[in-house]
Chain A
Amino acid sequence: MSAELFSVFYQFADVFAFLILSAAGLAIVFGMMGVINMAHGEFIMCGAYVTVGLVNLGVPLPIAQILAALTAGIIGMIVEFLIVRRFYKRPLDSLLATWGLSLIVTQSMLLIVGSAVRGIGTPEGSFAIGGYTFSTYRLVLFFCAVAVLAGLYIIFMKTRFGVIARATMQNAAMAKALGARTGRIYSISFGIGTALAGLCGALYAPTMTLIPTMGATFVVESFVTVVIGGANVLLGTAPAAVFLAMIRMALNASYGQIIGQIGMLFAVILIIRVLPEGLSSVLVRRGR
């Protein structure tokens, strides 16, 4: 019996980790600047490619993953400096600009790298409970997702940077008047966001085939999680991921992946009809 229960938890953890890891970076950027980074999937791809490249050079996997996340973060800050910075007043235009960037990056990668790269296998190791065998790496992913949430909580709630960042989120002009360097805050937040995207790619790199268009596999999940989460990113993303993971898990188990994805989309469309402001609006109202 406990084996069945664990199996359900394991499937839930798998989807939950996927949603959190793919959405966290997007949510930070969206929460800070009100911008949806359409090139999010390309930063995920970047993390995955750097990881695989480094591992093929002989770097141990965990170190390669950390380096990949850092690379994505640095590239993100460069992109922020060159492109996104100009559009803080025009969020819709930044959406288009990052989409243009995404097209350029994906197609250039197809031109330069080609469609297939030698992958790295999923780290071995499994454990058995009852009659079932589970892959250890999937659980590692779940703990990474929890660690990302905890890390974000600490950064945004417990540090000086976090206080200033939240002030900037709430009222950028006022924060600036009080002496916060909002430009730098934006730049760092964008960097954190893309680094998290890179981390997502790095963590999932061993489990999937690397193709330049792999970003598209992640974008739907990350978009809908952020949409459901609503404007308050810190409060909204985790419950949104829990909620969507439940729906997805139930549908995946009985009908397969694609119905799971379609069902998730229907749930999202229904939820925005009922809760246009997303889940975080309910939580914020309760909290008051």
Chain B
Amino acid sequence: MLKLLDGPQTLGRGRIFWSGFLAVLAGALIYPLFADSYDVGNFAYFLIWIFMALGLCLMWGYGGMLSFGQTFFFGIAGYGYGVLAINMGGGTATIAALVLSVVIAMIAAGILGYFMIWGGISGIFFGIVTLSATLVLAFFLGQTAGPEWHIGPARLNGFNGMKGMDPLTVGDFDIEGSALYYVMIALIVVVYIALRMLMNSSVGNVIVATRENPQRAEMLGYDVRKYQLLTFVIGSGLAGLSGALYTSWGQFITPSSIGLPAAAMPIVWVAFSGRNDLTATLVGSFLLLFGFQTITVYSQQAALVLMGALLLATVMLAPQGFVLGIGKLVVGWWGRRRRRDEAAALADTARLQSDET
């Protein structure tokens, strides 16, 4: 199993990369000891969105399916968690609400994905249909202000959004503040490692083959559509995980986290970071979220203008993504210097190898 951690589909390998990984993880684990609880809560907030970005990276970078519908599944699971948590009562049932809401998002992804993928929708149209579904959901939830819109005791509340659900709880212990932070860190490590293993396994290689050339993959005997649907369901499920965690973190969710401009944000993070690699997406999304949050305090519009400008700049200057590009430059420079200093044979351990694309 552990062999699957390194492979041709993911960048970063060898002792140096993994020592760095462990160092960052250790830093993240001891961070709450030095920071006040407000900052820790904020950090947990950034981490919520990472799952959505990793899911999009999987679908778009590895699967070649550009989904504009991450916030669609984010919203389904976010509202799902709220409705379930209110209906089932608080306490440990919130864990079940979290799991169920992600499952609901994945079922929705399965249905939408079936119609699109078996209908032969790809490329631009895939984005358009997912975006249309997202916007319609946002409009729909926006007009559910009246008292007739409720599921059990849970009121949907239109533009003001749903509130009053319990946060994640085990027994009497609310998972909030630094406890939530540790849960996020653990989830991110698990998801990141699992996605790395998935992509370097035979299934992952078929997914990449589908991106490269669907016809050829089909000729080799793979039912391309099943692999695409699998990718879509996993990627959307991760968006759902973000949504459910978001609702639990703030105990509210509004339609504005589904519609525009929210729907564009995952695209910006992943495009800027470098869609072809999980690690680049992880690092880049975190940096962007951090920057965005810092600027939003002064002006939300200015922050969004900056996001738009970043997307435009990425596409025009570095179509493969800035973080990925800078990462490759640094590692290439590091590799060359080491080769000059030491035996050439050692250099391979540090060099990042890019896949063919």
A8 at the A/B interface (Cβ < 8 Å)? no
| Chain A 84-100 interface mask (CB, 8 Å, partner B; 1/0) | 00110011110111011
What is the CB-to-nearest-CB distance from A216 to chain B, in angstroms, rounded to a whole number?
A: 5
Contact B124–A83 (Cβ < 8 Å): no
Give the complex CA separation of A206 and B155 in angstroms: 35
A258 close to B (CB within 8 Å): yes
Contacts of B304 in A (CB 8 A): 103, 106-107
CB distance from B47 to the nearest CB of A (A): 24
Of the 9-residue stretches B207-215, B286-294, B305-313, B347-355, which lies at the interface with chain A? B305-313
Q: Measured between C-beta atoms, what is the minimum distance from B307 to chain A in Å?
A: 6
A167 at the interface (CB under 8 A from B): no
Given the complex of chains A and B, what is the CA–CA distance between A172 and B347 in angstroms?
47
Is A96 a contact partner of B132 (Cβ separation < 8 A)? no
Identify which of A125-133, A146-154, A262-270 touches chain B.
A262-270
Give the Cβ gap from A88 to chain B, nearest Cβ, in Å: 13
Do A96 and B315 have beta carbons less than 8 Å apart? yes
B residues 89-133 with Cβ under 8 Å of A?
112, 115-116, 118-121, 123-125, 127-129, 131-133
Q: Is B139 in contact with chain A by the CB < 8 A criterion?
A: yes
In whole angstroms, what is the CA distance A83 to B312 when docked?
9
Q: Which of B66, B125, B131, B308 contacts A100 (CB 8 A)?
A: B308
Q: Are B319 and A90 in contact (CB under 8 A)?
A: yes
A227 touches B125 (CB 8 A): yes
Residue interface mask A103-124, B partner, CB < 8 A = 1: 1111110110000000000000
Give CA–CA (A272, B121) in the complex, Å.
8
**Chain B residue at minimal CB-CB distance from A108:** B305
- B174-215: which residues lie under 8 A (CB-CB) from chain A? none
What residues on B are CB-neighbors of A91 within 8 Å? 123-124
**B261 at interface, CB cutoff 8 A:** yes
Q: Does B229 contact A (CB under 8 A)?
A: no
The chain A residue with its CB closest to the CB of B112 is A269
Contact A227 B316 (CB under 8 A): no
Q: Are A100 and B309 in contact (CB under 8 A)?
A: yes
Given contacts A95-B124, A223-B131, contact A104 B316 (CB under 8 A): no
Residues of B within 8 A of A268 (CB): 129, 132
* Chain B residues near A83 (CB-CB < 8 A): 312, 316
Contact yes or no, A223 B136, CB < 8 A: no
A100 vs B115: C-alpha distance when bound (angstroms): 28
Cβ-neighbour of B129 out of A86, A111, A272 (below 8 A): A272
Asked if A111 and B112 sit within 8 Å, CB to CB, the answer is no
Contact B316 A97 (CB under 8 A): yes
Q: CB within 8 Å of B: which of A203-258?
A: 213, 216, 219-220, 223-224, 226-227, 258
**Chain B, 309-328, CB within 8 A of any chain A CB:** 309-316, 319
Known A-B contacts A223-B128, A265-B136; A258 and B143 likewise in contact (beta carbons under 8 Å): yes
A51 on the B face (CB < 8 A)? no
Q: Tell me the chain A residues, 9-66 only, with Cβ under 8 Å from chain B.
A: 34-36
A111 and B305 within 8 A (CB)? yes
Q: A86-B316, A96-B311 are in contact. Are A220 and B135 (CB under 8 A)?
A: yes
Would you call A96 and B267 a contact (CB within 8 A)?
A: yes
Residue of B nearest to A272 (CB): B119
Check B140 for interface membership: any CB of A closer than 8 A. yes
Question: Does A265 lie within 8 Å of B132, measured CB to CB?
Answer: yes
Judged by a CB distance under 8 angstroms, whether B56 is at the interface is no
Q: Which residue of B lies closest to A34 (CB)?
A: B124
B259 at the interface (CB under 8 A from A): yes
Interface pair A107/B305, CB less than 8 Å apart:
yes
8 Å CB contacts to A: which residues of B26-82?
Answer: 66
Beyond known contacts A100-B268, A103-B308, A107-B261: 19 more, CB 8 A cutoff: A87-B315, A92-B123, A95-B124, A95-B127, A96-B267, A96-B311, A96-B315, A100-B312, A103-B311, A106-B260, A107-B308, A213-B260, A219-B131, A262-B136, A265-B132, A272-B115, A272-B121, A274-B119, A276-B119
Identify 17 residue pairs between A and B in the complex whose beta-carbon atoms are under 8 Å apart, listed by A's number: A34-B124, A92-B66, A93-B319, A99-B267, A99-B308, A100-B268, A100-B308, A100-B313, A111-B301, A220-B135, A224-B128, A261-B136, A262-B140, A272-B129, A273-B118, A273-B119, A274-B119
